[in-house]
Structure 1
Amino acid sequence: MRIALFFLVEGVAALVIGFAALFVSFDPVWSAELPQQAVLRPSDARSGSLLFKTDDGYRDALRLGVDVDLTVSGPTVRARVTQIFRNPTKDWVEATYVYPLPAGGAVDTLKMVVGDRVVVGDIKERQQARAIYEQAKQNGQKAALTEQERPNIFTNSVANIGPGETVLVQIEYQEPVQQNGSEFSLRVPMVVGPRYNPRPVVQSVDLRADGNGWGTTDPVPDRDRISSEVLDPAQNAPVNPTNVTVHLNAGFPLGEVKSHFHQVRIESPDSTTRIVKLAEGPVPADRDFELTWKPAAEKAPSVGLFREHVGNSDYLLAFVTPPSVEQAQQKPLPREVIFVIDNSGSMGGTSIIQAKASLTYALGRLQPTDRFNVIRFDDTMDTLFPAPVAANSANIGNATAFVSALQARGGTEMVPAMRAALSDTNHDDANYVRQVVFLTDGAIGNEQQLFETISALRGRSRVFMVGIGSAPNTYLMTRAAELGRGTFTHIGSVEQVDERMRGLFARLENPAVTNLSAKFSEATADLTPSALPDVYRNEPLVLAAKLDKLTGSVEIKGRIGDRPWSVTLPLANAAEGKGLSKLWARRKIADAEVARTTRQESPEDADKTILALALEHQLVTRLTSLVAVDKTPSRPEGEPLKLSELPLNLPAGWDFAKLFGERPSLPAVPGERRADGGDGKVQLAALKRSPVATQAPGTLQLPKTATDAELKMIAGVILLTVSLLLLVFNRRQTSPQ
């Protein structure tokens, strides 16, 4: 009996062990005392967090948070951008992060905060700054490096962030307030949209004296530096939470203050001041922040004059809005308008809806005396009519149907479309004003090719850029409009279409102020822009000058239609301003870049000018960088350093599937999207590193999901089988013979 009881107990125990083995790990991680860096599941990810792939599961990866603090003082904005890098891993890491800034911003300050130490950066030539940073990284010192990739795209690198450490990197920049009629505005770009980078061109070149060889020309030689990992919003929570605060001191009694794309809370200390904060705290960095304000009176000041004394020089910033005067006793000339619409993959989602609505509105504004054409492009191109046609109801109806049928797809070959739009077969026809209206998000990496095309082919055409979407490439838009003697209009939502397109047509349908010049009566001035551009209705002429003395006056002359116009401004009436010397230098640098593009200066001479201005005024340019190094080494010798390239959110409203990987069977090519010659769909191509992650961050991949669960289940089944056999054997032993 005792033997039977023993076998029974033994069988039951084996049965229990077998079932338990199905569910219980032999070394359960949840029962151990875990440090702060606990193993995580994907569901544990919070907004602003990334996950590392590790050998033992999920680990929270390097995080980035951004705080933007802006102070508006009359005509200028001083911005302080603080990037908070936190490393919750056990590894020493180097973080790199691509981020946008306003194209007209003058970046002049870098600070790195490590614990209670503040390290201030220095401006150096780009190669020298990079060498200093790399040496500090190798020595185990904390270091930060700020580099300009485009005037509106920057890269921050932060080396030797230790386990559990938080490092703050703070940059500052100055920019002018934008004005359009009675409305003033500022824009904070928050995300760099993925760029379409055309493939390198293989061409025959003379490499030897006795024959030909093959060479390549890359239209985007720095494609790997402007391409970042992009998270699929369907698979990932938003990252890089951003907070924005604006201290607005307009200098005049304020009326309406409005945030167009974010909910805000507005405090009013007095009639000329507002404090604007995000209503619900930090937001995902996936669309631009735009703030506009108007004076309490019906009209804004038409003249603004500001001065700053730095060193031995005086700097002047002038805003002058010419009066809106209609052409007298003369009908405006009819127009030949070429509309160009971008229907590439980056325009997927809400952007194509905005673009089509804008173009449909524009077609409805044409007059019977006008003529027009429509060009659409992705990586292919179609022109609706063989030549511009009369703006009658039949042609406008055909164009409206053509636009309505467009779908977003393919790559963004913008240069051929601009070349076609500027092709002017009627260049001797003085009876028409020729205008090009170009609707796009500007998401390309070969901006320089577009600028050179406009400069070479613009002729009598004027180019008006319409930026579409939540994060347009404003550098491309503003520079293209400047070279094309037109303007830039941004439409960030469908609700803005009517208002912004009405403003654009007010410019298209009214005479520009042309033949502008500025003359100082007593002071010797270094003026920028050196060649004053035409300005359009409600737009101010913005001048910056470096003066040897602040005496006398400046007279500005021009023509509005067929009428002369002039205004004289006493310099003694200028109000005190801040950061004007930086703005003057930044605009002089932009002048040099334009002169380089238009071949008015050789590349060597333009670069000398840019470098001298950048070093004198301590600004970041494509030739200079800011570098900060903590003198005390922190990473122990022998500890490895891991690179973490932080991904970006997809801009709000963009369609990830339209943009990336509609044909996943093709091999991925890092760093480039290419157009397939057959159907033009956007593909991932293979040059350096991928700008996208279809499931999760590529460099910060999701953890390995494989475990030893299968082995444990097999062991459990075996033990369960053995226990059943023991029970059967026991029963047979104890049963009556």
Structure 2
Amino acid sequence: EAQTFSWGSKRKTPELEWCSVVSRYTVTTVESSVWNQLPITKEAAFEVDLPSSAFISNFTITSNGKVYMAQVKERAAARKIYDAAKKQGKTAGLREIEKFRVAVSVPSGTQMLFSLTYEELLPRRLGRYELSLGLRPGQLVQNLTVDVSITERTGISFIRVLPLKTNRLLSNTAQGDTDAPSSTHVEQQACCARVHYSPTLQQQNSISSKGLNADFIIQYDVDLRDLLGEVQVYDGYFVHYFAPRGLPVVPKDVIFVIDVSGSMIGTKIKQTKQAMSTILEDLREGDHFNIITFSDKVHTWKKGRTVRATRQNVRDAKDFVKRIIAEGWTNINAALLSAAQLISPSSSSSSNHLSSRRVPLVIFLTDGEATIGVTAGDTILSNAKKALGSASLFGLAFGDDADFLLLKRLALDNRGVARMVYEDTDAALQLKGFYDEVASPLLSDIQLSYLDDQAFDITRSLFPNYFQGSELVVTGKVKPGVKDLKVSMSAIDSKKEVKFENDVLASHIKGNGRISSFVHRLWAYFTIKELLLAKLNTTDPATQRLLADKATNLSLKYNFVTPFTSLVVVKPDAAEAAQTPTTTAATITTTATTTATTKISVAGAGKKPNSPSNLDGDPHFVVQLPKLHHNLCFTVDGRANDVLRLLEDPERGIIVDGHLMGAPPKHGVEERSRTYFDLLTVSSDTGGSGDIMITLSLDAVVVEGEGRDTLPVNQQGSVRRQGVTVSVDNHRSCWIQLAKDVQFLVLFHQYKHPSYLQMAHLGFYITDGRGLSASTQGLLGKRECWVTRTRATWWIAYNSSWASSTTLPHRCKAHSHGNCLDSNKRTMSRNCASMLSQ
């Protein structure tokens, strides 16, 4: 998968992708050749989308027969090279963990070959392994080839190639028999298979004249008849795959905890309801369940208990879900404690009565940060761990603004895992897909053991649950001289404790590199992954440094690009490729695979918000329509450096303006710009000796009028002038009390380790607008408005004065009982217009 550039007349421009899978461990190599046939120098970019779990292990550039091989360096050392290259004006680049990109200048008549290798372990989910290879050359390619070989010692039960996946969305077509792409050849024997795909130019053109832009997906599963699983021992290392088949499903106690705060308004809450409706239908009669919704308040569907999943209870639960309304703030701590109260009695009693045992699960969905109640992450973690006991917590972070770091730590502390749910049209399928993975518990408290005098440096071997269709993996080292590795397993099934033992013959023959070397590389891969998780889950600086050092040393030894190392490559520039000795240096670095966010909280410095009028994030707005039980929610398609008039009350002399800053677009929708607020100004005519002007930036709050005071956003303080009170609390929140019944709140959103989509920004809320006059205008004001139709799209235009003196179009949605309805549909536009006319 690479960007391939070809200039001039048609010539063969090969793009090759081959992949070797040995016992689930995958080594993928992507090669792309570029040939500049123009009389001038051109720049070529080689870009590969990587699986999030993969580690890069090799990268080379071949130019004029000379091979330039990248080296993996410690992060600090690579940074020095990067900085030195930048100072000299040479090309240097930074790489995020899921994307590799490098650009070089290619002189006239020169051919270059790029080659990238990455490694990963394929997880087993829903009874299959899935290998996905990106094919995005950016043009029609004369010689495009995908070659995959799969070797599984216990045998391959099935293999199938899915149709090319031309978008990132999930679909239901991945199930059952489907047709493979044309020019796909599959050869299968008992323990190995080969897949070959090489589409012609005509076949590529029939898909798109711009070349392929798709994922080539292979699914397969293995035969595994031994209940204890498969153990392989090579060259002093072992790997144990544990995935028993045919066990009875254990009933579960499952608590669904759903965030229904104001940020869930619209598509998110609609998709959550869709997913919950399907999930509830799939509950087994032996299961017990309950539903908790939370914002600033917590609501439990059935107080104090879980209920059996009878048809009537499921129907009642679906009715409850349909009535959910999204509004308010986010009290994560209270929601978790409420879930613990429901599930703890059941789980504790079940430990004494295995015949009636049910596995306790909490599925926790949120799209934001804790903003009310207990907001400190460490306190939430401590409270949850004490309260949840033996329950497993599975965290679902819905969208880019969710506190994914907190959810990961909650899951690590409480026997579960955390996943991202991406904001897209397939979000309901993502939610349902995750539930399917944990819907059928088969075993609990699984302990895989190996005699201490035989094995050491073993990765995690104690697991809280084993779910149908999944797989548990343990790797370690075998002491010299061991001939038989003794393996034992203990666990609890639906009724009793089970134990098994077995002896595995250890092979001390130096096998060929392809078959035997994967075991020790898999051990290193797994060990680094576990060190990353352990570092994430500790707050002790000394322990964090020790874990980081261990992960760094292993990464350097096995040439893995991880969050602790960087890939440094000396690239040929145009002069070098033209046979001169000059070179340029670039570093390709990696950032952490998880994003840490600062918890933004709202303490009781002022009243609890009672109005949904607000703006936050990539500017979207929620406005309460007067005299109606409806909200109007919309997104402004602003541009960087636009100034928006958010609110203007001419009778009270209050004006609020917001300045927009640009942000990187989301992947797949590059044509749509993203903006955030980085500066807000609030002015008020107090009727005294002069106006009060409040300027809020990402770093400070400046209050002017009868002097000038500055309040840093990271410490508590307050200023009172002419009846106006400005208070900054210790939770990065600023409360502005302009008059009786007029109060605003500004949140300072900061991220410790932001992803490229996350930017520090301001959020503005009207927490009390009862004192605003009826003539208030602006995006969040009470005003007259009309609906116009432009190019088959309905827009709302306001008769308010924009600070930029322009009328800015923005998408409109009408919000009724927690649902935002898309105004791009003509019927909704009429509803929107009728509500506004009232």
1:122 matched to 2:71: yes
Aligned residue in 2 for 1:461: 391
1:247-258 counterparts in 2 under 5 A?
247-251=148-152, 252-253=155-156, 255-258=158-161
SS of corresponding position for 1:579: helix
Aligned residue in 2 for 1:679: none
1:178-327 counterparts in 2 under 5 A?
178-180=123-125, 183-188=128-133, 245-251=146-152, 252-253=155-156, 255-259=158-162, 262=165, 263-265=180-182, 266-271=184-189, 272-277=192-197, 280-281=203-204, 290-294=217-221, 303-309=229-235, 314-322=236-244, 324-326=246-248
SS of corresponding position for 1:621: coil
1:424 matched to 2:343: no
Aligned residue in 1 for 2:24: 75
Aligned residue in 1 for 2:732: none
Superposed displacement of residue 107, structure 1: 1.8
Q: Which amino acid is 2:220 matched to? A: W
2:561 to 598, 607, 620: 620
Q: Which amino acid is 1:107 matched to? A: I
Q: Which amino acid is 2:54 matched to? A: G
SS of corresponding position for 1:618: coil
Unaligned runs of 5+ in 2: 6-12, 166-179, 350-357, 370-375, 589-616, 621-633, 648-657, 675-838
- Partners in 1 of 2:483 and 2:281 — Cα distance? 51
1:563 matched to 2:493: no
Shift of the 278–348 alpha-carbon distance from structure 1 to 2, 3 Å rule, reads: farther
SS of corresponding position for 1:124: strand
Judging by fraction of residues, say which structure has more strand. Answer: 2
Q: Deviations over 1:534-559 (max 9, x none)?
A: 32234332011133425331323221
Q: Which amino acid is 1:316 matched to? A: F
Contact 2:396–2:419 (8 Å) recurs in 1: yes
Shift of the 452–137 alpha-carbon distance from structure 1 to 2, 3 Å rule, reads: farther
Aligned residue in 1 for 2:363: 437
Superposed displacement of residue 293, structure 1: 1.4
Instruction: After superposing the two structures, state which structure 1 stretch, 241-250 or 493-502, moved more.
Output: 493-502
- Partners in 1 of 2:428 and 2:212 — Cα distance? 23
Q: Percent identity?
A: 15
Superposed displacement of residue 598, structure 1: 2.2
Shift of the 528–607 alpha-carbon distance from structure 1 to 2, 3 Å rule, reads: same
Aligned residue in 2 for 1:593: 532
Q: Which amino acid is 1:178 matched to? A: P
Shift of the 503–620 alpha-carbon distance from structure 1 to 2, 3 Å rule, reads: closer
1:686 matched to 2:661: yes
1:726-737 counterparts in 2 under 5 A?
none
Q: Deviations over 1:339-390 (max 9, x none)?
A: 44799999998x988754432122123448723114488xx99856485664
- Partners in 2 of 1:67 and 1:614 — Cα distance? 27
Q: Deviations over 1:69-127 (max 9, x none)?
A: 32222332111134678999978769696x64233323211112335432111111223
1:583 to 517, 522, 526: 522
Contact 1:669–1:689 (8 Å) recurs in 2: no
Superposed displacement of residue 337, structure 1: 1.7
SS of corresponding position for 1:599: coil
Q: Which has the larger radius of gyration?
A: 1
1:630-669 counterparts in 2 under 5 A?
630=571, 634=575, 663-664=635-636, 668=640
Q: Which amino acid is 2:148 matched to? A: H
Aligned residue in 2 for 1:113: 62
Shift of the 500–423 alpha-carbon distance from structure 1 to 2, 3 Å rule, reads: closer
SS of corresponding position for 1:534: strand
- Partners in 2 of 1:100 and 1:257 — Cα distance? 23
- Partners in 2 of 1:304 and 1:325 — Cα distance? 17
Aligned residue in 2 for 1:20: none
1:289-688 counterparts in 2 under 5 A?
290-294=217-221, 303-309=229-235, 314-322=236-244, 324-326=246-248, 335-340=253-258, 356-366=273-283, 367=285, 370-375=288-293, 385=301, 390=307, 396-397=314-315, 399-401=317-319, 403=321, 416=332, 420=336, 423-426=339-342, 428-429=344-345, 430-431=348-349, 433-438=359-364, 457-458=384-385, 459=388, 460-464=390-394, 484-486=414-416, 507-520=438-451, 522-529=453-460, 531-532=462-463, 534-549=465-480, 551-561=483-493, 562-572=496-506, 576-599=515-538, 602-630=543-571, 634=575, 663-664=635-636, 668=640, 686=661
Q: Which amino acid is 2:531 matched to? A: A
- Partners in 2 of 1:300 and 1:502 — Cα distance? 28
Shift of the 187–463 alpha-carbon distance from structure 1 to 2, 3 Å rule, reads: farther
So what's the TM-score if we normalise by structure 2?
A: 0.51
- Partners in 1 of 2:145 and 2:428 — Cα distance? 26
- Partners in 1 of 2:269 and 2:14 — Cα distance? 31
- Partners in 2 of 1:270 and 1:240 — Cα distance? 32
Superposed displacement of residue 620, structure 1: 0.8
Shift of the 622–370 alpha-carbon distance from structure 1 to 2, 3 Å rule, reads: same
Unaligned runs of 5+ in 1: 1-46, 51-63, 192-237, 444-448, 646-657, 671-675, 677-682, 699-737
Contact 1:361–1:498 (8 Å) recurs in 2: no
Q: Deviations over 1:119-157 (max 9, x none)?
A: 1111112232233245456667777x674x45xx24534
Q: Which amino acid is 2:21 matched to? A: V
Contact 2:639–2:662 (8 Å) recurs in 1: no
- Partners in 2 of 1:89 and 1:438 — Cα distance? 59
Shift of the 427–371 alpha-carbon distance from structure 1 to 2, 3 Å rule, reads: closer
Contact 1:437–1:463 (8 Å) recurs in 2: yes
RMSD, aligned CA: 5.9
Kindly tell me the number of residue pairs found equivalent between the two proteins. 542
1:172 matched to 2:98: no
So what's the TM-score if we normalise by structure 1?
A: 0.57
